[in-house]
Structure 1
């Protein structure tokens, strides 16, 4: 891997991690386009540079993170309640991921599974968006009203993101909307849940393939990828929040559908290896 490839992959990770478009799918597509060999080291690299995106959101939501830390210490009841919801939502994907990680990596880390989930996820965004616009009794509940039972529903939705290309942000935001959160509250909970989920995934992959990853790509390329992911995640999250407040999710739905059709056509013609 060249230094500029590390920066490029970090940029792809940072830009797409918190957008509902699937960072895993975009990273795998970028790796194939760059001719990087697939395998445990490449997959581990894609997961580990998520730490840069984690740091970006931890910084942007530092007040919420501090509130949950106070809650853990017993000094903030609201922080303790939110932390309990995060833990509740985290558990389902953690359990399913640990049980089926090898199976998922062996069978689903290919472009055709990703293209299919891009398309299905895009249609889902468009359908949910249209249903919300048509609803006359739409709930606009804040994050303070989220109960652990509703958080569990969001957590169960997050298990769908174990299929590469689905997008963890997509399914958790939609899950939040389905349990009655406002769009802004659903996005915030998705980002906070992502801190726990991505941190656990990064640690798990680093323990399993960290040595192989460093031997293959080198520590400098890891640092460059982390820095690039952090920088572009800060820009991406700020832009996404501002965009959603004005326009909603439809852009991401159409983007996913068009991307799926485009990449699928290239795969079908043999222009890109699946």
Structure 2
């Protein structure tokens, strides 16, 4: 990798990690266009590092929310009546269990440009179906992230399993799951951001631990540049995304996924 590739990959990660368009899919496809081998251990480790940059953006933006979740007393509501660690754990468990059981199979069979194209399309269809299902106002009962119930949190967690397929998108699957569970788009998106922190830190931390032996001192500057780019862009992307969700539906992002899949299908066939 070089400095330009590092900046481009960092920007792509920060821009897409929390949008329902699949950051993993974009990273795989971008690496393909830049001529970077997905089999190269240095490239794989770089992708892990820039993900941590995006995670840091969520921690900074939602710092007070995380502090509140660890505060068992005080606050405007009792611990059991507000968003807390119980909600986060319930949303994490399904994907963590399936991810641990099938991690090697997923790495071997679902990581690649072709499989990403399929998941982009299927994920887009799910988002459109979720939007149409939620159009009846009576189906959306939760408009604030602090009002999410334990049952809704677990439902979102079940949909997060779909995000183990690269290209499906964690936010796309969980926000869709949130809509099916009666949570508004904005509240579901914020919940997705919060849940992503422990999951991504755990997953990327494990991958980084396994890949650390493939790094050398020459990689540090390039990795640092990508990390910073992902952090800055993710901060801007999260704020912009929440603003967009107040006005537009997930269908817009689904259409983008279809167009992206078509473009890259043509590119891969060339």
Query: TM-score over 0.5 for the alignment?
Result: yes
- The aligned residue for residue 235 of structure 2 is 234
Matches within 5 A, 1:1-274: 1-39=1-39, 40-71=41-72, 74=73, 77-78=78-79, 81-133=83-135, 135-141=136-142, 142-212=144-214, 214-215=215-216, 218-267=219-268, 269=269, 271=270
C-alpha change, 1:216 and 1:180, in structure 2 (3 Å) is farther
**Where does structure 1 lack aligned partners over 5 or more consecutive residues?**
none
> Does the aligned pair in 1 maintain the 2:70–2:84 contact within 8 Å?
no
SS at match of 1:246: coil
Matches of 2:241 and 2:113, distance apart in 1 = 26
Deviates more, 1:163-172 or 1:173-182: 173-182
Gaps of 5+ in 2: none
Q: TM-score, structure 1 length as denominator? A: 0.91
Shift of 1:75: 5.0
Could you say what secondary structure the match of 1:144 adopts? helix
SS of the counterpart of 2:168? coil
- TM-score, normalized by length of structure 2? 0.92
1:171-220, CA deviations, whole angstroms, 9 ceiling, x for partnerless residues? 111111111112221111011001111111111111111221x2397111
Query: 2:16–2:26: 8 Å Cα contact kept in structure 1?
Result: yes
C-alpha offsets along residues 71-114 of structure 1, whole Å, 9 cap, x if unaligned?
3xx55543875211101111221122122212111111111110
Over aligned residues, Cα RMSD in angstroms?
1.8
